[in-house]
Chain A
């Protein structure tokens, strides 16, 4: 019984659904604030202290808006796709050890890194389907762009994620974080830098925000969406952003591990995880704000001609210098 209570609390409240939701909204705010400061603007500043409640206000507004399903769409797909994408992203986050262990205790297993990456890929299919089901030329182009871009960049992302796994001799995220006595970002910076770049493309941030380039294709895949369904799509995007940032944290920055000074180690874990992820978010936003949007052909060529060979090379380098690296991390 007691065990069940822990299970329910961990899944629904902390560090499960509710906590993740708050975290996602916080990062949404942070992202907007950072972008605004880069652009010489204020950013959200009216709702709550420093406008921190703005994302909540936005989602409440979206949820209360009229929800239109255009006549010509495939209704089932149109409704199901955003929910599917959202659920898959949330599920994927359950395997990220935010307070040192997975959301569902003991669910960590050898290979959950692969599972997380798979879930993210599947969720992106959901996003693709949402655009495809809209039967709108803007959505259609946006959806095909998601597929072209995402599927291309998934390959180098997975190859690069194998670097830390190789060094930790494990495919379990918890083991990878635990084995980082020295953050892998310092041990193999080449891998980390490439991972950052590829992640930027995976998260569809500038200069890779092609699938929803508003001056070209209005809203991209989400053009026909409104109200609750749009809220789910937006939430999925926010969750994907959090997954991306936390993947860097767990794979390269030692995850939730850090000095525990006093009190409950779980809280310190959460603290270190947050600090590291905020740093990652800052860097991602930085890249996003100093570049213009690339074109789909440039992005696709850049992937196949540059990033895939480079990621293979970086993995090869990791394998070759592994004995040396092992001396460093001890």
Chain B
């Protein structure tokens, strides 16, 4: 919390000439409008003076004749630095030289809003397919999805697909393509690894296989409908997405959420975290070839799923949060059952902690593998268990408390080993910690109303809000123009933040380490690829006849 005040003070003192407007409408949230092209100074100032500061994301907003770039800096709270560029000639300077972690965020803005960042090392498409028409930017306000995609003159260039084997200059180097379909990935995404024997020389990745255009779609739906839309960004961490979206809207509308609702949100959020972490630990077992561990962990995850169903009525998509509170109350019998389950699962989680600590083969495979040093972690702006596994005790629940976390005692788990093992251990211990939080919240559940009635129209304003999703810091930025429809919704899921560092980590490792390192990041690609409207109809390049597929030369 002091970090946030330092950041604001430093900017106010050292950059007074560049600040056009500075508001702090809510605790730990500052919005600073800068003179054009001064964002680099502001970012460097924050990085220099605030320890463990990171860039959360860059959200671009089309204001009509200008495009506003919001650099959300995470430093205790969120300092949003606004840099406006003209819409006709949208060019600005990159900040990747100051903060390499901005790489993907700048590419995303370039891809979807058409802002060019001068000096960016590889300003290429991130989300849109290669044959998307040039000069067509779906997140600009005047962009309309084609009504009849079949008639649109989409470029016929076929997508360059790399074949599985590609000889490089050096004879011994082979390209190994993992994805879009590969047993290590549970969602479609493509990684290309250059390998020399068993060693990985380089890695590239291509995102965007599961675009659903949720950000654009959110602008066309009313706020209360959007709650259900953002819930579908990710099934596993649905409670995190709805919580953060509702909080952002509540911030804009100055809506007081009843404290019972805050506690219930916390409980569902933590149940989400427990089953998400258990899922990942099971997957890690599978990725490391430890099938027995995989099966056992997943079986122990089931009672948690049952509890979510008991409390919310749904096993996965809880549909629990809404703007102004929650939609369902918890019954005394559910409380009792949940407490019983928590006790049983804690026993099992303690056992798994022991397994991860003691098992020789697991440690052989994870220790010293995929090392991400503390400095690199901060440089690449990674979040969540990956960051905490690299020795930075950063947790939104502690740094920027939301819901009921300000009142609940818990520890931030942090490991200093910086390797795959540390990242897994962080999750094992967080399961235990989460179970304690659930128990505490159930024991201290305040009485009172579940929700307050909220108008459909939300007053003009903007809000950025963060929560600690199971995979790390999740940030939503919502801008309202006073109607019932949001002007802009921007989502940055934790996986996108973590992916930047992946190619750096994997260089020099063995092929066998790829699955365990990918696994320890707990990637969730459907969270990551959500911004673009892509009609399946105009995905022409995917439709190859069988003969054409067979003709693809090796």
Residues of A within 8 A of B (CB): 35, 38-41, 71-72, 135-138, 140-141, 206-207, 209-210, 213-218, 289-298
Contact = CB atoms under 8 A, between A and B. Distances in A.
A135 B195 CA distance: 16
B359 A210 contact: no
Interface string B348-365: 000000000001011011
Q: Could you say which interface size class chain B belongs to?
A: 35 or more
Nearest to B288: A292
Interface stretch (B116-124, B142-150, B332-340, B511-519): B511-519
B521 to A, nearest CB: 14
25 contacts: A38-B292, A39-B292, A40-B295, A41-B295, A72-B554, A136-B164, A137-B175, A138-B164, A140-B174, A141-B176, A206-B291, A209-B289, A215-B184, A215-B289, A216-B514, A216-B515, A291-B361, A292-B288, A292-B365, A293-B512, A294-B365, A295-B512, A296-B510, A296-B512, A297-B198
Contacts of B135: none
A72 B299 CA distance: 44
Given A137-B174, A141-B198, A207-B361, A215 B510 contact: no
Nearest to B365: A292
Contact of A213 (B182, B195, B289, B294): B289
Given A39-B295, A40-B295, A291 B290 contact: yes
B142 to A, nearest CB: 45
B342 to A, nearest CB: 21
B289 A293 contact: yes
Contacts of A217: 511
Given A40-B292, A136-B164, A292-B362, 10 more contacts: A41-B295, A137-B175, A213-B512, A216-B514, A218-B183, A289-B291, A291-B361, A292-B288, A297-B198, A298-B364
Contacts of B359: 291-292
A71 B364 CA distance: 40
A326 to B, nearest CB: 37
Interface string B152-196: 000000000000110000000011100000111000000000010
B289 A292 contact: yes
A33 to B, nearest CB: 14
Given A137-B174, A215-B515, A295 B365 contact: yes
Contacts of A210: 512
Contacts of B296: 39-40
B379 to A, nearest CB: 28
B550 A71 contact: yes
A141 B511 contact: yes
A214 B290 CA distance: 12
Nearest to B550: A71
A296 to B, nearest CB: 6
B549 to A, nearest CB: 11
A295 B517 CA distance: 13
Contacts of A215: 183-184, 286-287, 289, 515
B198 A294 contact: no
**Chain A interface SS verdict (over half):** loop
Nearest to A213: B289
A293 B365 contact: yes
Q: Which 6 A-B pairs have the closest CB atoms?
A: A293-B289, A39-B295, A292-B290, A215-B515, A292-B361, A292-B288
Contacts of A289: 291-292
Interface in B521-554: 550, 554
B164 A216 contact: no
B293 interface: yes
B364 A294 contact: yes
A216 B511 contact: yes
Nearest to B166: A137
Q: Which of B184, B291, B295 has the most CB of A within 10 A?
A: B291
B384 interface: no
A210 B515 CA distance: 13
Contacts of A218: 182-183
A52 B290 CA distance: 25
A214 B289 CA distance: 8
A135 to B, nearest CB: 7
Contacts of B293: 292
B510 A293 contact: no
B138 interface: no
A223 B71 CA distance: 46
A293 B295 CA distance: 15
Nearest to B285: A292
B4 to A, nearest CB: 42
A214 B183 contact: yes
A39 B296 CA distance: 6
Nearest to B360: A291
Q: Which of A38, A215, A297 has the most CB of B within 10 A?
A: A215
A304 B68 CA distance: 62
Contacts of A72: 554
A296 B364 contact: no
A135 B286 CA distance: 27
Contacts of A209: 289
B281 to A, nearest CB: 12
B184 A216 contact: yes
Contacts of B361: 207, 291-294
B154 to A, nearest CB: 31
Nearest to B165: A137
A208 to B, nearest CB: 10
Contacts of B292: 38-40, 289-290
A297 B365 contact: no
Contacts of A41: 295
